[in-house]
Amino acid sequence: MHQQKQYTRSDLSRIAVIVMKEKGLEPDFSKEVHAQLSTINAPGVDDDPKIQDLTHLLWCSLDNDDSRDLDQLTTCTEIGNGSYKIFIAIADVDVLIKKNTPIDEHAQFNTASVYTSARIFPMLPEKLSTNLTSLNFNEPRLALVTEIVIGNDGDVQGSTIYRAKVLNKAKLAYDAVSSWIIGSAPAPLGITSVPGMDIQIKNQDQIAQKLRVKRHQAGSLQLEIFQPKAIFEGERIIGIAEQEHNRGRQLIEEFMIATNESTAHFLQKKGIPSLRRIVRSPDRWLRIVELAKQYGEALPNDPDSKALSEFLAKRHLADPLRFPDLSLIVVKLMGPGEYVLENPGTEPIGHFGLAVQDYMHSTAPNRRYPDLITLRMLKHAIANRPSPYDHQELYSLALHCTTQEDAIRKVERRVRKSEAALFLEPYIGKDFDGVITGITPNYGWVRIFNPPAEGMLLKLPRDASIGNKLRVKLVSTDVELGHINFMKTAY
């Protein structure tokens, strides 16, 4: 039924809290966390003489428009023959937040920040994640720096990791930087106000594109998942938008993947067990083969990321409209990513989706707990001290992080549905163009294009099949439960 109540952003925050608790996550910080937080009033310091001073480099952060928890900075220098040295600085969260303290225990329990449009549930209190442990503009900070040499053709030729002091010279946002890179908008102030930053970003973009080509040649999958985001003006919801995967996002994605691989190699060389991020070779590969057959494409009978990557690239070109739905089916058949403990010398499971063997999460310690674990292990390894985590601990943490990640995914998806239901409420009785994305014996699922939203298709047409375009009428919404119901319109 159509509700009479006027829902607002605060209602969505309340719903998000309920769903967090339902999924076994802790929405609020304990009094012990607040007590520890009250004792932390300045950024972390360390007088270790081995910490390098790299504050002179042209560092910048590149993130979402509204991001305030800045985990990484990037910069690069030319070293001749078309080769570059890229530097990725990762916030040293551990310098302020020690293992087994109340703040660390909360972070360990939830394992990541939970992002909903109405409210963010940060893994670390905002006094830290958006201030004292964030790599904020014009604030000197301690960081872990990964230095990677990239050849002219995008080959990674070597890397090293060390501690350093860094300084963010420009806080940049994906969309504005992207528009400037492709020439559709002038350079943002963060670039024009810092001499040399324009060349710096152009160089980083070119390196990232070379890394990207190399990765796709190796069989990394190009997927496009439908994840619309609500836009608010104060308490009112005013729109739903899809995030564009543009050049700015690609730049950071490529640099982060290179960092995560370098981190895995670093710990491996030192003979240290590590918390790897994996996507297994798909058990349901033959279902993916069947799926490709429906499009007239033949995939080999054994899992082959290169062949799948080529098939996906072809489909993206042929039918961009339905590509997010195909991506989702492939992702479900591949199975989710997970964290596992891997020992040096054992055969790595690898990351099927990225077509890499040695991979871990290390670039976001303000918002993901596995990255904070890895940060601590790296610092101990650099100082030649024994690992702060034993075998059994890492094994348990890997399982726990995987479980909580699944819970977080469910919370974010569920709240997105409530946001869409709220935005669509005034449009009950209106018609929309859409595409069928799923079918069960009694009903279907439909994705409408404008605004981007998904809902249930009641009374499935007899001739319905996935991918069919159709016109639907919005018949009801339920903000509390995140339900959106459509019916096929009678022509």
Among 248, 224, 16, CA closest to 115: 16
3-state secondary structure 389-434: CCHHHHHHHHHHHHHHHHHHHHHHHHHHHHHHHHHHHHHCCCEEEE
Instruction: Using a pLDDT cut of 90, give the percent of the chain over it.
Output: 86
Whether 465 shows a pLDDT value over 90: the answer reads no
Residues 199 and 291 in one domain: no
pTM: 0.94
How does pLDDT run across 52-106, given as a tens digit for each residue?
999 999 999 999 988 899 999 999 999 999 999 999 999 999 999 999 999 999 9
Residues 442 and 479 in one domain: yes
How does pLDDT run across 194-215, given as a tens digit for each residue?
999 999 999 999 999 999 999 9
Whether 326 shows a pLDDT value over 80: the answer reads yes
Whether 408 shows a pLDDT value over 70: the answer reads yes
**pLDDT computed for residue 55 by the predictor:** 98
Residues 59 and 131 in one domain: yes
**What's the domain count of the chain?**
3
3-state SS, residue 116: coil
Is 382 a member of any domain?
no
**pLDDT computed for residue 491 by the predictor:** 56
**pLDDT computed for residue 244 by the predictor:** 79
300: exposed, middle or buried (Cβ count in 10 Å: 0-12, 13-18, 19+): exposed
Residues 200 and 330 in one domain: no
How does pLDDT run across 101-121, given as a tens digit for each residue?
999 999 999 999 999 999 999
**Mean pLDDT across the chain:** 94
Residues 100 and 152 in one domain: yes
Whether 404 shows a pLDDT value over 50: the answer reads yes
Is 317 a member of any domain?
yes
Read out DSSP for 439-465? E-SS-EEEEETTTTEEEEEES--TT--
Whether 182 shows a pLDDT value over 90: the answer reads yes
Query: What is the pLDDT averaged over residues 119-139?
Result: 97
How does pLDDT run across 35-60, given as a tens digit for each residue?
999 999 999 999 999 999 999 999 99
For residue 407, give every residue at least 6 positions away whose Cβ sits within 8 Å of its Cβ, in sequence order, or none: 23, 24, 25
Whether 319 shows a pLDDT value over 80: the answer reads yes
Residues 230 and 121 in one domain: yes
Residues 97 and 228 in one domain: yes
Residue 437 has which token pair?
């994305």
Is 363 a member of any domain?
no
**pLDDT computed for residue 1 by the predictor:** 47
**pLDDT computed for residue 483 by the predictor:** 97
Residues 116 and 189 in one domain: yes
For residue 390, give every residue at least 6 positions away whose Cβ sits within 8 Å of its Cβ, in sequence order, or none: none
Is 354 a member of any domain?
no
**pLDDT computed for residue 3 by the predictor:** 47
How does pLDDT run across 413-447, given as a tens digit for each residue?
999 999 999 999 999 999 999 999 888 888 999 99
Q: Are strands 229-233 and 236-241 parallel, antiparallel or unpaired?
A: antiparallel
How does pLDDT run across 235-293, given as a tens digit for each residue?
999 999 888 789 999 999 999 999 999 999 999 999 999 999 999 999 899 999 999 99
**pLDDT computed for residue 4 by the predictor:** 58
**pLDDT computed for residue 66 by the predictor:** 85
CB 89 within 8 A of CB 73: yes
Residues 155 and 27 in one domain: yes
Identify the band that residue 372 occupies on the pLDDT scale cut at 50, 70 and 90.
Answer: very high
Residues 444 and 329 in one domain: no
**pLDDT computed for residue 424 by the predictor:** 96
Residues 165 and 305 in one domain: no
Give residue 298's domain range: 285-335
Whether 2 shows a pLDDT value over 80: the answer reads no
